[in-house]
Chain A
Amino acid sequence: DIQMTQSPSSLSASVGDRVTITCRASQSISSYLNWYQQKPGKAPKLLIYAASSLQSGVPSRFSGSGSGTDFTLTISSLQPEDFATYYCQQSYSTPPSFGPGTKVDIK
């Protein structure tokens, strides 16, 4: 099974900051990497699929990059509604697996 790790596990940032979250796979997964945002008490929401494709309706301040084993989610200018936990997920092989999450909170 493919193991996913994320760093940092949490971060504190201010509105307007540029935020970068890293996800690493235990083996190469090409571009089979998705990103989700989860707010407390809510279901995860798809942000980015196939490593860099922005899901319809998601603000353009979110972007994804990477391939192989190393991936990045970037929020170019953090907004109040972006405080949440972010998960990466590999879809390269079964079972699909999620990273442990990165919690973004207010500084």
Chain B
Amino acid sequence: QVQLVQSGSELKKPGASVKVSCKASGYTFTSYAMNWVRQAPGQGLEWMGWINTNTGNPTYAQGFTGRFVFSLDTSVSTAYLQISSLKAEDTAVYYCATLEAATVTNHNWFDPWGQGTLVTVSS
């Protein structure tokens, strides 16, 4: 079945970097855009941006430019989120999610989602 499996939890010190992976299976990886969503502890869902899995072109939401990088390795059907110069406020669960779209209309939605990766930034 269509599935996204993310890498495990990470504990990092401020100023370090982290790379979260999201491995897709059950479908052609390049058929759907890959999105990233952040959820801070006890908070709601925040869209970070997306990467075109055909071209590798990333688009970042406001507030996620500079320290955040989306990348791909299509040979292993995997998307990556790298965050550099980590800050305490980056502590959150990070989700990958594919964007599925209706064939006739422009409707689209996030499905499925990875299980989430908790990144904790603490000294």
Contacts and interface: CB of A to CB of B under 8 A. Distances in A.
Contacts of B115: 42-43
Interface string B27-51: 0000000000000000011110000
B109 A34 contact: yes
Interface string A53-94: 001000000000000000000000000000000010101001
Interface residues of A, number: 23
Nearest to A31: B107
Interface string B74-112: 000000000000000000000101000010011111111
Nearest to A46: B111
B46 A49 contact: no
Contact of A91 (B45, B108, B113, B114): B108
Interface residues of B, number: 22
Given A43-B114, A43-B116, A49 B109 contact: yes
Contacts of B116: 42-43
A97 B45 CA distance: 8
B11 interface: no
A49 B111 CA distance: 10
Contacts of B102: 49-50
Nearest to A101: B44
Nearest to A38: B45
Contact of B105 (A42, A50, A97): A50
Interface of A: 31-32, 34, 36, 42-46, 49-50, 55, 87, 89, 91, 94-101
Given A32-B107, A36-B45, A49-B111, 18 more contacts: A32-B106, A36-B110, A42-B115, A43-B113, A43-B115, A46-B110, A46-B111, A46-B112, A49-B107, A49-B109, A50-B107, A50-B109, A95-B47, A95-B61, A95-B62, A96-B47, A98-B47, A99-B44
